[in-house]
Amino acid sequence: MNFRKNKNMESVENRNWKANGQKYLKELQAFLDKVENIENEELRKDIIFQMLRCDNELTLLAEEVFKKYKNDKEKSLKECEDD
């Protein structure tokens, strides 16, 4: 039996890994609730945009780590099969 996931399934999982994190979503909501109380509209937008930039960079970094881990695992499995 072949238990490997197809590329389409992996792609959907990769895009949703962060959205499935309940603790992440709770913290994001807490942040947005606090920022909502900032009266200065320009400052509020700047803070939100900066947080989103940071979040995006962290997401890209995490996805690179996942990709490296996956590649290392596949390489290791291939080496085991070759033995």
Report pLDDT for 43. Answer: 97
User: What is the value of pTM for the model shown?
Assistant: 0.65
* Residues in Cβ contact with 48 at an 8 Å cutoff, skipping those fewer than 6 apart: 32, 35
Distance CA 47, CA 35 (A): 8
Buried b (16+ CB within 10 A) or exposed e, 55-75: eeeeeeeeeeeeeeeeeeeee
Alpha-carbon gap, residue 33 to 70, rounded angstroms: 36
- Domain chopping of the chain, boundaries: 40-83
For residue 3, the model assigns a pLDDT of 42
Cα torsion angle, 28, 33, 34, 35, sign? positive
Q: What is the arithmetic mean of pLDDT over 33-55?
A: 96
What mean pLDDT comes out for the span 29-36? 95
Each residue's pLDDT tens digit, 13-27: 566 777 788 998 999
Q: Give 48-80 pLDDT, tens digit per residue.
A: 999 999 999 999 999 999 999 989 888 888 878
